[in-house]
Chain A
């Protein structure tokens, strides 16, 4: 069965420190993964997708099929990175764009 696991509910770092939000998945097909972010009082929005191999707001994520992971990383965290982060896996056929989300990680960056 498809599943997305984010083992950390809460993650706290200081400004300027590296940050890594963990995401592991279970899926029998070829995985397509995303990170979504929700800042305080804002709607949930796409941060990045693995297929694009992009860096957004200094964040990167590499798909590791061997470890079935898609961890989100940033070398120097900023206070404005404080938010809820969700990892998501495309499931149910690519036509529908159906996503399975993880439990979410609340990131707090302290000054």
Chain B
């Protein structure tokens, strides 16, 4: 059974702090993703990674960076947290697409971040 875990369920930080959100998957997936989930806006992709040390910007990368030093771990970094980054953050992973079609994304439980 695929398992995607996120380091914290709830996090409270102050404006200007550097924030690390960690995601770990145990299924040897090549692709990993970070989204934020906001009411009325759905899920928006922040960054994704298709291999170790590889990363691509998603739709809303501003104010965020990522790190993927090991295949199973994908970290989201808020260099200087701001109140508009208060949100639910979801991590997901998937296999590299095979000849049978696109692979399912498996999601973590989410981290609810509050920036004061």
Contact = CB atoms under 8 A, between A and B. Distances in A.
Interface string A1-13: 0000010010000
Interface in A74-111: 86, 90, 92, 94-104
B74 interface: no
Nearest to B109: A43
Interface of B: 4, 31, 33, 35, 40-45, 48, 50, 56, 58-59, 90, 92, 94-97, 101-110
A103 B41 contact: yes
Contacts of A32: 101-102
B31 A97 contact: yes
By secondary structure, the B interface counts as strand
A51 B102 contact: yes
A57 to B, nearest CB: 16
A90 B102 contact: yes
Interface of A: 6, 9, 32, 34, 36, 43-46, 49, 51, 86, 90, 92, 94-104
A97 B105 contact: yes
Contacts of A102: 42
Nearest to A96: B50
26 contacts: A32-B101, A32-B102, A43-B107, A43-B109, A44-B90, A44-B92, A45-B106, A46-B105, A86-B42, A86-B43, A92-B56, A95-B50, A96-B31, A96-B48, A96-B50, A97-B31, A97-B96, A97-B102, A97-B105, A98-B33, A98-B48, A99-B105, A100-B59, A101-B42, A102-B42, A103-B41
